[in-house]
Amino acid sequence: MGQFWVSTSWLLPAYGLMGAVLALPWSTGILRRTGPRPAAYLNILMTGVAFIHGGLVFRSIWNSGSQALLFRWFSFADLQLDLALDISVINLGALELITGLSLLAQIFALGYLEKDWALARFYSLMGFFEAAMSGLVLSGSLFLSYSLLEMLTLSTYLLVGFWYAQPLVVTAARDAFLTKRIGDVLLLMGVIALSALAGSLNFNDLYAWVKTEPLSPGLSTLLGLALIAGPVGKCAQFPLHLWLDEAMEGPNPASILRNSVVVTCGAYVLIRLQPIIVLSPVALGVLVLLGAITAVGGSLVAIAQVDLKRTLSYSTSAYLGLVFIAVGTEWPGVALTLLLTHAVAKALIFMAVGSIITTTNSQNLTEMGGLWAKMPATTLAFGIGALGMVGVLPLGCFWGLRMGLDFLSQSSAWLVVVFLTVNGLTALNLMRVFRLVFLGPPQAKTRRAPEVPWPMAVPMVTLSIVNLLVPAIMTRLSLVPPWEYLNLPMTSLLIATGIVGLGAGLVLPLSKSLARSTYRPLRIVQDLLAYDFYTERIYNRTIVAAVAVLSHCSNWFDRYVVDGLVNAVGLASLMGGEGLKYSISGQSQLYLLTIMTGVGLLGALMTWTLW
């Protein structure tokens, strides 16, 4: 029976797609009399089936070992493109994380989007979203991974632009799509280069090819930089990080997945490509540098935000920056642990955020306060998720951060400082948000704030319990390092920075107006962080301006040179025809003489040219 579940594991990515297709009659408006709810129930059912099927396959693989499923899609000359699935414990663990969080997010959406007229369309898009992520983590081929990354980019665009009647939403969807396309195009160059060099895009074949094929330093560097460009865009890393902030304009249930498992998928592809990227020390250095810049910069920018979802989205980019550092320093185990623990904690935090937005109809931190007594379940969920995000023993991200510090302390002291800084700043920011939202006197929009209905409360409470059980789950999966290898100084520093950050966030003076300081140096720092180090303005005055000038020059050249030349030829033909019509005599011998003269001149010209 176990082999049967493994042999049918190709269905795992298809369940979400089947849910999306089955919901089309409602999402396209063909069926209206029943309302949009059947589309939601169908997608929830298919996600539940995927979760159960994945669990059965995981149990079978745990006892028998990993297997590969290979379907030949295209073969010509020495190029072979396969739809390959790698059925392993790690891949299935990632799949269970995706389907489990997707199931909870879809149930959560029943309450969050209860009165939305496009509920069926949302669930169709969520099924499409889930299918792309599920296929991506099971993929055993770079060709299939790239195809599914494109599918993920499209689904992100559609979900961010879900409320397309709002101009800001349309802009956010466009920017998210175009920003990701930059990384995708560069990744495509790397995929094409690998297909030409290795002759196969299956990961196992690529790993074997890398061990035997010598590459020049220049080629390996270009190849490595191209391969990391895609994950940089997918994981919202500097300089392609602005899209995740704008993507918060989409519905919150989609943001739950986007900030937990969608960015995880991009990093997962990076981890699969790490044995190839390691050929280039330059590419590894770029990974570490980009990760460090995003981790520290994102943590600082998050502190200055007043939008509830945006301050947490910058935190997502910061933690993915730590993952990039782990991959760049060749510690993929640390990266995987950070991805797992961060995804579970961040999903819970965004569920709590969705509850707050539903009740208050606001996501402005300056308009909130006093919700702890009115929304106890939401308060508890946010607190558990926040503690799971920072280095608080024994919850969540403590284990990934501890492993990172243990390994990096042996070689890169400055990266230890980066990890500790991010942990402290994240703790400070989460405590700041907690105080502004849940503590203090109630504001106008929080005086009447009942707890959310059961479709939102049940998945939120369920995920709170899962967060508390993460240490036990990790121990069961042998992901927690033995205590005898405990690096006591690094562990003490990790716990201390978490406590210092929480303490600083607790005593930091906060103003509900969050007014700009009258002290000029402090005001400059405030504006610098609030506007993300003016990154968008720098882009507008450099890259965007350069593209605008280039487009203007291209337009001028096309209009006056290309079109002018074509129009001149046309005008010459017209004038020549008009002039020749007056020479028409109707005498055939004259026409014959003209033809013979022209042919003779043409022959003489050709003879002269040959000589």
For residue 514, is pLDDT > 60? Answer: no
For residue 482, is pLDDT > 80? Answer: no
Residue 31 is predicted with a pLDDT of: 82
- For residue 322, name the pLDDT band (cuts at 50, 70, 90): very high
More confident residue, 548 or 590: 548
- For residue 292, name the pLDDT band (cuts at 50, 70, 90): very high
Strand partners, 70: 84
* CB of 400 closer than 8 Å to CB of 331: no
53: three-class secondary structure by DSSP: helix
Q: C-alpha angle 27/47/139, rounded to 5°?
A: 105
Residue 79 is predicted with a pLDDT of: 67
How far, rounded to the nearest angstrom, does the alpha carbon of residue 510 sit from its chain's CA centroid?
Answer: 32
- The top-scoring range by mean pLDDT among 98-107, 254-263, 440-449 is 98-107
484: three-class secondary structure by DSSP: helix
Chain position carrying tokens 């297709």: 21
Q: 97 burial class (0-12, 13-18, 19+ CB within 10 angstroms)?
A: buried
Q: Cβ contacts of residue 348 below 8 Å, gap of 6+? A: 381, 382, 384, 385, 388, 460, 463, 464, 467
- For residue 87, name the pLDDT band (cuts at 50, 70, 90): confident
Round to whole Å and give the CA distance between 80 and 86: 17
Residue 583 is predicted with a pLDDT of: 62
181 secondary structure, DSSP code: H
Residue 352 is predicted with a pLDDT of: 92
Round to whole Å and give the CA distance between 78 and 198: 10
Q: How many CA atoms lie within 13 A of 350 on its CB side?
A: 33
What token pair was written down for 135? Answer: 């296929």
Round to whole Å and give the CA distance between 132 and 16: 8
Region class of 65: left (phi > 0), else alpha (psi between -120 and 50), else beta:
left
Residue 351 is predicted with a pLDDT of: 93
For residue 578, is pLDDT > 60? Answer: yes
Q: C-alpha angle 578/580/581, rounded to 5°?
A: 70
For residue 224, is pLDDT > 60? Answer: yes
For residue 473, is pLDDT > 80? Answer: yes
Share of the chain above pLDDT 70, in %: 94
pLDDT for 403-417, tens place per residue? 888 888 887 888 899
Residue 15 is predicted with a pLDDT of: 92
Round to whole Å and give the CA distance between 63 and 156: 36
Residue 442 is predicted with a pLDDT of: 82
DSSP 54-113: HHHHHHHHHHH--EEEEEEEEEETTEEEEEEEEE-HHHHHHHHHHHHHHHHHHHHHHHHT
For residue 132, is pLDDT > 80? Answer: yes
pLDDT for 59-86, tens place per residue? 888 877 778 777 777 776 666 777 888 8
Q: Which amino acid is at 175?
A: D
Residue 441 is predicted with a pLDDT of: 83
- For residue 586, name the pLDDT band (cuts at 50, 70, 90): low
Residue 426 is predicted with a pLDDT of: 92
Residue 509 is predicted with a pLDDT of: 73
- Taking residues 276-289, report their average pLDDT: 90
Strand partners, 81: 74
pLDDT for 1-53, tens place per residue? 667 777 888 888 899 999 999 988 888 888 888 888 889 999 999 999 999 99
* CB of 446 closer than 8 Å to CB of 374: yes
Residue 245 is predicted with a pLDDT of: 78
Residue 573 is predicted with a pLDDT of: 74
Task: Indicate the average pLDDT of the chain.
Answer: 85
Gyration radius of the chain over CA positions? 29
Provide the pairing of β-strand 79-87 with 67-76: antiparallel
- For residue 250, name the pLDDT band (cuts at 50, 70, 90): confident
Q: Which amino acid is at 79?
A: L
Round to whole Å and give the CA distance between 48 and 350: 21
For residue 165, is pLDDT > 90? Answer: no
- For residue 559, name the pLDDT band (cuts at 50, 70, 90): confident
Phi, psi of 202 (to 5 degrees): -70, 135
Residue 584 is predicted with a pLDDT of: 63
Residue 443 is predicted with a pLDDT of: 84
